[in-house]
Structure 1
Amino acid sequence: MSMWRQVRGIAAATILGTSLVLAGCSSKSTEKTASPSASGKQEITFWTPFSGADGPFMKKIVDAYNKESDKYNVKFQIIPNGEYYKQVDLALSTGKKRPDVMIMHVDQIPTYQKKDQLQPMDDIASKAGIKASDFVEAPVKYETIDGKLYGVPLDVHPMVMYYNKDLFKAAGIEKAPTTREEFVAAAKKLTDKDKGQWGFVMPTLWPQQFIFPSVVAQNGGKLADEQGKPTLNSPEAVEALTFLKSLVYDAKVSPEKVAQDGEVTLFLQGKNAMQLNGPWMKDQFDKAKINYGVAEVPQLGTKQKAVQAGSHNFVVPKDVKDAKVLEGVGDFLKYVAGHSIDWAQSGQAVASKQVLASPEFQSLTQQQTTVAKEFDYAIFNPPVVNWGAMTGDLYKEINLVLLGQKDAKKALDEAQEKALQVK
């Protein structure tokens, strides 16, 4: 199972046209001494949370780099995703057994930057020949804070729509829906309760962290204002949640009280015609040999196209100061930027423009190219410190609404009140 499916509760400046700049930082008590590996190469410790099906794809990249490099050896460490940020917090706060470079979700970067635990990536990138313009704009803009870049993007993973081609054909539906009206009409046509078949199975838990914000944004709303104050109970948010609830209790295209991963189970059984989920589902669906298609997320909101996305990024802890290690990190990131086609094989659309434009990427399956099309209107969680804590109760309240136990406005009012208490 992919890392993002295991995450529960997790959740812009001008793009730099010049080479990026990395500032060295000081912390004498916690700095590690650079040491060679058994092969005589400089060792670079690399942490990731890729404990699901995506792990082997990153390992393939690391292994290829280690084989090619005559100066550096990247020590690849996977930390189970559920424990990842606990271990990151421990390592960064104590300075013990911390990595030299690690993967961080883009919406976590503002919090760790605010805690002064990350260093700007500009200088190391510049020395390695990496430029901001090498990558798609959205994550670069997000992780540029006070004019400094705090991450180097690996990918952008917006939600997509999966649909069962066989069920679509049997229902006489020739193409994936693109609007709210088309979506509801298709879902009704695809629902056959006598067969236990549903047009769209509504998740009550994960991945609502992608579905709900997408519809809010499609309504023209935001979950936080420009000052970083949460706006979880805006009219746009209430309308979004009311609509999602209506698919279960009014349109009746979804069963009630869907348990965690219930929508996936039914999709695997051929009983769920459409589902909204992430690119990380590709490997599981491929192995199950489902005849599925991938489409851009329909505009379920009322005003515009938008889709919630995440992004994996490389970051460097503030206390990494050894010049040889930093040079090795830069060399590795330069390699990944040019060779992330192997990461794209996992179902992700990579952030490297060089790879996105390559014939190898263009020849991949419909999924990767569909994900890349969504880059133009992808959104991330608001760049607010402690956003995960602010929205912890939000998704508990959404769960109650989708279970039919609470009114949408009342639930979002209570989530807003609790969010305002988080500092």
Structure 2
Amino acid sequence: MRKTLKGLGLMLLVLSFVFVAACGNSNNSGSNNGNKGNEAAAGNGGAKAEKADILFWTPFSGADGEFMKKIVEKYNSSQDTYKVKLVIQPNGEYYKQLDVALSTGKERPDLAIMHVDQIPTYVNKGALQPMDDMAKAAGVNKADYVAAPVDYETIDGKWYGVPLDIHPLVMYYNKDLFEKAGITAPPATRAEFDAAVEKLTDKAKGVYGYVLPTLWPQQFIFPTLVWQNGGDLWNGTDVAYNSPEAVEMVKYMRSLVEKGISPGDVQQDGENTLFLQGKNAIQFNGPWMKGQFDEAGLNYGVAPVPQLGKAKQAVFGGSHNFVMPKDVTDANVIKGAGDFLKYVSTNSMDWAASGQALASKPMLESAEFKALEMQSNVAKSFDYVQFAPNVLNWAQISEPIWGELSSALLGKKDPQKAMDDAVAKSRQAMKK
């Protein structure tokens, strides 16, 4: 996921969110729900559903793939009517492979994972079918999912994706450095953040309170700060990231370098390297980093990103969703896909164990999920999570932001000039 988002120039979570740890007791409940799903798929007449295979594509080619594999295996063993065949495509090539499969029909999946911000573009292509009828027949209800992704992927009144997770930007912090500095709780406001990073910085030892990334994951950080400051990336008709609200946050980030809180020339992943070395006290990144930090044996905590802007709390996020290609017409395959999604809605603790915060409300409200410290902390931001603007080809339109932003953060270009140039390039891209 992390590589995919980097390639897309966004996020943009996602995730994942990538997205990563402990496994829930889902085997027994999975078997019960799977059988109930088959009864529903059989219809009101009670006729036994016909057997079907469901080809399921995901981009989970990292460590997270094993967690999804467990869910599929448990579902398949919970009933004998449907068999989900999991295919993991290379992460960085996922959408290219998917485009080929959808256009040629060769080895086309019956069910696929898609990032939420991709769904409007694929709907516009005519590549996806609404999930409403399938969901209704399977007992999969919109109300059982966090509203943000459901609202985003409901287009012209039709529901095109069923959420699996949400992977927002989060704050990681080094507990040992916090304790040494006498900081007892993670910062939640700009005042608390500014005070904390100043205390945490020890230049003599090469320790920084917050190391400012100049490249990835700014695709998550920059939108978060713009929204928090009352700005936006898209104003409804045009790109808007050269607004006073956006430029102010670019200046704020650069000021952390000027104050000595952060080194000035941070290369790709430099902030993460220093975090792993215990020389960066705070890092903003996604849930997908959990596995790496656990493996390194870091004593770290996770908390929502503090509100650094002046207007409101907000955070940029991504979301993995189940979608169904338009050309899937076999009634038994559709019933089987619905049965699988019904199962996942209450049997996805294995996915939470990968580090992801689940989008299913029954799972979020379960004691098993609440016992996961990191994931439950990530879920605290779901009420104010936002996704990329719901604009066709947004990744291509917004691509100029990242190079211009990097120049500003490195002190090579005035922030206002950098954002003006990014807007000009984006407007040019929209004309092509």
TM-score, structure 2 normalization: 0.88
Q: Percent identity?
A: 61
Native 8 Å contact 2:10 2:220 kept in 1: no
CA displacement at 1:159 relative to structure 2: 0.9
- CA displacement, residues 236-266 of structure 1 (integer Å, 9 cap, x when unaligned): 1111111111111x22211121111111111
How well do the aligned residues superpose, as a CA RMSD in angstroms?
A: 1.5
Native 8 Å contact 2:4 2:92 kept in 1: no
* Corresponding position: 1:383 with 2:390: yes
* Corresponding position: 1:264 with 2:302: no
Question: Runs ≥4 in structure 1, deviation > 3 angstroms?
Answer: 1-8
- CA displacement, residues 391-422 of structure 1 (integer Å, 9 cap, x when unaligned): 11111111222222111111111111121123
Match of 1:167 in 2: 177
Higher helix share: 2
Q: Which of 245, 260, 263 is the aligned partner of 2:254?
A: 245
Q: Which of 405, 413, 422 is the aligned partner of 1:415?
A: 422
Partner Cα separation in structure 2 for residue 110 and residue 230 of structure 1? 18
Partner Cα separation in structure 2 for residue 374 and residue 340 of structure 1? 20
Q: Which runs of 5+ in 2 are unaligned?
A: 12-49
CA displacement at 1:6 relative to structure 2: 5.1
Native 8 Å contact 1:2 1:50 kept in 2: no
* Corresponding position: 1:115 with 2:122: no
Native 8 Å contact 1:135 1:352 kept in 2: yes
Partner Cα separation in structure 1 for residue 190 and residue 10 of structure 2? 26
Native 8 Å contact 2:8 2:395 kept in 1: no
Native 8 Å contact 1:256 1:403 kept in 2: yes
Partner Cα separation in structure 2 for residue 396 and residue 111 of structure 1? 24
Match of 2:350 in 1: 342
Partner Cα separation in structure 2 for residue 87 and residue 339 of structure 1? 29
Partner Cα separation in structure 2 for residue 279 and residue 190 of structure 1? 23
- CA displacement, residues 356-404 of structure 1 (integer Å, 9 cap, x when unaligned): 111111111x211111110011111110000000111111111222222
Which amino acid in the other structure matches residue 424 of structure 2? E
Q: After superposition, where does 1:110-149 map in structure 2 within 5 Å?
A: 110-149=120-159
Partner Cα separation in structure 2 for residue 301 and residue 251 of structure 1? 18
Which stretch of structure 1 is more off in the superposition, 91-100 or 44-53? Answer: 91-100
* Corresponding position: 1:318 with 2:326: yes
CA displacement at 1:99 relative to structure 2: 0.9
Q: After superposition, where does 1:19-418 map in structure 2 within 5 Å?
A: 41-227=51-237, 229-248=238-257, 250-364=258-372, 366-418=373-425
Which amino acid in the other structure matches residue 414 of structure 2? D
Which amino acid in the other structure matches residue 109 of structure 1? I
Q: Greater RCO between the two (CA within 8 Å, min separation 6)?
A: 2
Match of 2:40 in 1: none
CA displacement at 1:200 relative to structure 2: 0.6
CA displacement at 1:286 relative to structure 2: 1.1
Partner Cα separation in structure 1 for residue 428 and residue 283 of structure 2? 34
CA displacement at 1:321 relative to structure 2: 1.0
The number of aligned residues is: 392
Native 8 Å contact 1:8 1:206 kept in 2: no
